[in-house]
Structures are given as structure tokens and as C-alpha cells.
Amino acid sequence: MNRRELLKKSAALGLAVGIPSLAAGKMFAGTGGLQVHRDTDKIKPVSNPLTPPAQGSIPVAFVISEGAVIIDFCGPWEVFENVSVPGRAGNPFQLYTVAETTSPIHASGGMKILPEYTFDTAPVPKVIVVPAQDGESEAMMDWIRKATKSTDVTMSVCTGAFVLARTGLLSGRAATTHHNSYRSFATQFPDVHFKRGARFVEDGNLASSGGLSCGIDLALRVVARYFGDEVTSKTVYQLEYQGQGWKNPDSNSLYLKEPVSTEAHPLCPMCNMDVDKSTSPRSVYQNRTYYFCMQAHKELFDAAPEKFIDGS
């Protein structure tokens, strides 16, 4: 399953669960309806630093299952792996994968990965990374819940936010996700203070990032909280990474504005993904034709079209 298919599946599941709770058809009008974060003007990174152990490595668990998106966990993996702290012996971070079993999983693009630990054998983590994936289980939910009781940071990347939210840990907390999943996330998890246009969001020991490369910036932010900006800047230099998003979580403001569907370039009204008019499922409502990225989205739209059209 590629990233586009994973995002479509997440959106379909979220909307199917959340349709009964939509508020009078106004939830998706414009961009304001999803900006429910308590700080409506700026996303201020938490200022309190994290305290690394006096010696030894900080254990970082990457929770993976079928369909795990490679950049979502390999981007942060490379960040943590390339950190060097002057005067500190050994690697600052101990990195490992954990899954329900140690059988090979198929990550995005078909890459096979052999998890190092199971949920029963994994070392106790201080940082957990939850990428977008398709195979989350109740065992995974339980492990994340229990492990997060003692983590410094439990972070999701992209639609990994859906996994984190399904644990219940994000209830009453702030979060973000990939821009194509804004609608479905806000619908499925109305008790989460959702933030559009965020590179990353932090709330206590929980954190979430936008899609793909945003996970790199959130990982750099974690490094900065442990070891400061100077060490992080040297890590950035080593990686030849030009992004500055780790310093500014508001730098995803490009995605604050909802994209507009046109006849020439139609978007799925459920998830705002581009669609091909020649092959897409379609519905006609109030003399206007709507095109969908998948049949499941058409069926959800047909059940309550007034909740998903502009200006309703």
C-alpha cells in the first residue's frame, strides 16, 4: 500500500466513524472549523528542556506494522542516529524497532523490515516514534499506552496521529497530522484539540507532526530539547538538511487554507485529494457533479452530502 492509499484509507475510516457527530453541516466550511487548538494564534514549542541520562543512551522505540511509511520512521531514525554530543561517550540514542511479532513486515513501497523486538521483549523506551501505518492492533495500542506512562516524548508522524489518537492518549490534548487527513482526523477525534498548518504540535509528553518530512523536524526538536540548539544545528549540518521547521512549528502555514475544487481540477470533497474525472466515482447533488478518490468516499458523501459541500 502506497502513501496515497494509506491516507485515503485513514480518511475513509475516520469519516465513517465520525459522520454522526458532525456539527450542523458547518464543520468543514472554510478553514476555521478545524482550528480548535487552545492557542489560536501561534504554536509555541514547549520551553522546558528534557533531561538526558548522565550516561548511556536514550532508548528510542520505532513502533511499526504492515504498511509503515518509510520516511515517517527512517527520517527521524537518521536524525537520532546522527546526533553527536561533545564529551559524551557512546551514542546519545539507542534505536530499535518494535512490533507485535518479529516476522518481516512490508513497509511502504514493498520494503521488508525485520522488527528487532516484540511488545513483550522491547526495552523500556524514553522516546516512541509512531509512523503512518496500516496494521495497528490492540496489542500495539496497549503497549503504547503503557510505555507512554514513562516516556519523555511519544511522537507520531503523519497519519501515525490516528494510531496515537486511537489509544485515547490524545483526548483533550493538541495534535496535528498530514494535511490530506485534516477533515477525517477532526471528525473521528472531536475531543482532540486539532491544529491545521502545524509542522508539529507538542502537548506534555505527547507530540505529533504533519506529513512525511515533518517527522524529521519533530525529531530535531526532540534532540534540541535534550541537548540544545548547538548540538541540533551540528546534526542538521551533518545531515545536509536545509529545513528550518524544527525551529518554527508554524512553518506549515501553507496548509492553513483549504484547497478549492474546480471543474478543471476537481478534488475529492472528503479528503481534498486530486481525482481523475475520467475514472473517478461521481455523484450529482444540487445540479453539481462531485468526484471522489475512492468508492467509500462517494458512499459517505451520498449518505449526507450537505455536510461536505462548500458554503453549507
pLDDT digits (tens, 9 = 90+) for 172-220: 999 999 998 898 898 889 999 999 999 999 999 999 999 989 999 999 9
Residue 27: what pLDDT? 34
Q: Are residues 70 and 134 in the same domain?
A: yes
Classify residue 18: in a domain, yes or no.
yes
Range of the domain at 10: 3-30+259-307
Domains identified in the chain, total number:
2
Per-residue pLDDT at 2 exceeds 90 = no
Q: Are residues 162 and 273 in the same domain?
A: no
Q: Are residues 165 and 149 in the same domain?
A: yes
Q: Are residues 116 and 133 in the same domain?
A: yes
Domain boundary among 209, 227, 254: 254
- The more confidently predicted of residues 16 and 136 is 136
Q: Are residues 226 and 165 in the same domain?
A: yes
- The more confidently predicted of residues 300 and 287 is 287
Q: Are residues 64 and 129 in the same domain?
A: yes
Q: Are residues 84 and 212 in the same domain?
A: yes
What average pLDDT score do residues 34-49 get?
50
Classify residue 312: in a domain, yes or no.
no
Classify residue 39: in a domain, yes or no.
no
Domain boundary among 212, 232, 254: 254
What average pLDDT score do residues 37-58 get?
71
Classify residue 45: in a domain, yes or no.
no
Per-residue pLDDT at 57 exceeds 60 = yes
Domain boundary among 220, 238, 254: 254
Classify residue 40: in a domain, yes or no.
no
Classify residue 168: in a domain, yes or no.
yes
Q: Are residues 101 and 124 in the same domain?
A: yes
The alpha carbon of 119 is separated from its chain's Cα centroid by a whole number of angstroms, namely 21
Q: Across all residues in the chain, what is the average pLDDT?
A: 86
Q: Are residues 197 and 226 in the same domain?
A: yes
Q: Are residues 10 and 129 in the same domain?
A: no
* Residue positions counted in the chain: 312
Dihedral sign for Cα atoms in the order 206, 210, 215, 218 = negative
- pLDDT interval class at 1 (50, 70, 90): low
Whole-number Å distance between alpha carbons of 48 and 45: 9
Classify residue 17: in a domain, yes or no.
yes
Maximum C-alpha span of the chain: 69
Classify residue 169: in a domain, yes or no.
yes
Q: Are residues 189 and 63 in the same domain?
A: yes
Q: What is the CATH classification number for the domain harbouring 188?
A: 3.40.50.880
Q: Are residues 72 and 196 in the same domain?
A: yes
